[in-house]
Amino acid sequence: MLNFSIGSLFFAVLLFITPIVLRIGKKYRTGLFLIINIAVFLLCLKSLPALLIGALWILVPYFMALLLQRAAEETAGVLPRILRNSFYLLMVAVFAYLMHYEWIPLFKILPYSNAVKLLGLSYFLFREIDFTMQYGYLKEVKVRITLVDYLNYILNFYTVMAGPILRYEEFVTDFYDETKPEMSGDMILHDFHRILFGYLKVYVISAILSVWAGYWFQRLSTGAGFFSLLAEFILFAFFNSFYIYFNFSGYCDVVAGGAHLSGMTLRENFDQPYFAVSLVEFWNRHHITLSEWIRDYIYSPVIKVLISGAFRKKIFAGQCVALFITFLIAGIWHGTNFNYVVYGLLQGLGIVISTLRTSHMKKKLGKKGFKEFQAKKWVRILENCATWAYISASFSFVGYDVCGVILRGFDV
């Protein structure tokens, strides 16, 4: 119903009211934070059915975690595992349905309304999977688990839109951390600066870049001639990749600064990604919390299954397959239309090629020789440029219908 983005008046008001409320009512801050979070959640619902779906989507995993844990403790054999796996499968299926992926034919037949789509749907999923997967561990190390804390973790309005993806343990430990220094004037100024600088990145820098990217995309989709098309594509991809960086990292600055004013620390999501010298390094510096989530919950389980099974004697091939699958899934997740499938394929392909190259170079130069080779300045610059060019080219499928342009090109 309500428009909730960092640019909305609603969010700006919350940004300043929340720290005051939470700090004045320090004794009740858990409850106060929950009230704010639930209010935001309710105001963002698009319809009444969405309320029911949202409530189920959030509450079921909490109680399932308890149930699965009990099943694992009390029943021996494969039954708990079957229960567990079918629960995750069901989660993913419901998620895919709610996202309404355009390229899955089944969803064209099933009834669907946009009104059931929740704000931050996939970020809910990430957090819920983290909580349910770690539940046993959390109990073991005696992390505080209550429904209220769980709801604050899932609904945290600072991160509900687009992350960063915290872990339950991390969120609760930080929320109840009493060793934090008192807020000083310097810190307040620092946080204000972080918020405003974030807004500047989003509404000035990325806004301008977006106009330029849009301009060159327009020229690209109406232009002709191979070389002018190529030049237009390069310019478009160039501006678009920087637009993505400034837009997303600006958003992260705003919410991190805001949360810090309220006494919460959000993990850093960006570390100068465009200085990366390889695709793997890029993903370790861009949207870091997502990369780590994917590493822990997709890459590791997939590669474990592969190298203890079909790829037992072919570990390198197993690694390539796992990387490809991981990046394909990560790409597909980013959006609902076919462009994102292409984006995922490109990411997967790129990562496999770069892994093959690294292993080939290591064989040729030796481990030490390769390290020395990579440390050379010109090599670093070249690898940085190549990484950046590849990322920009694949990012061009994010937000723009580049597939459509290519298809139209073939028609002519």
Does residue 73 contact residue 60 with C-beta atoms inside 8 Å?
no
Among 5, 75, 113, 146, binds other proteins (CB under 8 A): 5
Give the interface segment with other proteins, choosing from 32-40, 62-70, 225-233, 294-302 (CB under 8 A). 294-302
Give the binding-site size for other proteins (rule: CB under 8 A): 55
Contact with other proteins (CB under 8 A): which of 47, 122, 358, 384?
122
Query: In terms of CB distance, is 29 or 158 closer to other proteins?
Result: 158
Closest to other proteins by CB, 5 or 173: 5
Interaction of residue 251 with other proteins, rule CB under 8 A: yes
273 counts as binding other proteins under rule CB under 8 A: no
Task: Find the radius of gyration of the CA atoms of the chain.
Answer: 23
The distance of closest approach from Cβ of residue 231 to other proteins in the complex, given in angstroms and rounded to an integer, is 25
Name which of 6 and 53 has its Cβ closer to other proteins: 6
Gap between the Cα atoms of 95 and 118, Å rounded: 11
Annotate each residue in 63-102 with x if it binds other proteins (CB under 8 A) or - if it does not, as one string.
------------------------------------x---
Closer to other proteins at the Cβ: 112 or 137?
137
| Burial (Cβ within 10 Å: 0-12, 13-18, ≥19) of residue 184 | exposed
Q: Which residue, 28 or 137, has its beta carbon nearer to other proteins?
A: 137
Which one of 54-62, 131-139, 171-179, 230-238 is the stretch in contact with other proteins (CB under 8 A)?
131-139
Asked if 308 touches other proteins (CB under 8 A), the answer is: yes
User: For other proteins, which residue of 102, 170, 268, 296 counts as binding (CB under 8 A)?
Assistant: 296
User: Which residues, 6 or more positions from 366, have their beta carbon under 8 angstroms from its beta carbon?
Assistant: none
Please tell me the distance from the alpha carbon of residue 4 to that of residue 266, in angstroms, as a whole number: 20
Site for other proteins in 331-390 (CB under 8 A): 333-335
Q: In terms of Cα–Cα distance, which of 269, 324, 266, 320 is closest to 291?
A: 269
Asked whether position 46 contacts other proteins by CB under 8 A, the answer is no
Residue 399 binds other proteins, judged by CB under 8 A: yes
Site for other proteins in 164-223 (CB under 8 A): 185-186, 189-190, 192-194, 196-197, 199-200, 202-204, 206-207, 210
291 interacts with other proteins by CB under 8 A = no
- Which tokens belong to 65? 């975690």
> Where along the sequence are the contacts to other proteins (CB under 8 A)?
5-7, 99, 117, 119-123, 133-134, 136-137, 161-163, 185-186, 189-190, 192-194, 196-197, 199-200, 202-204, 206-207, 210, 244, 247-248, 251, 295-297, 299-301, 303-304, 307-308, 315, 319, 333-335, 398-399
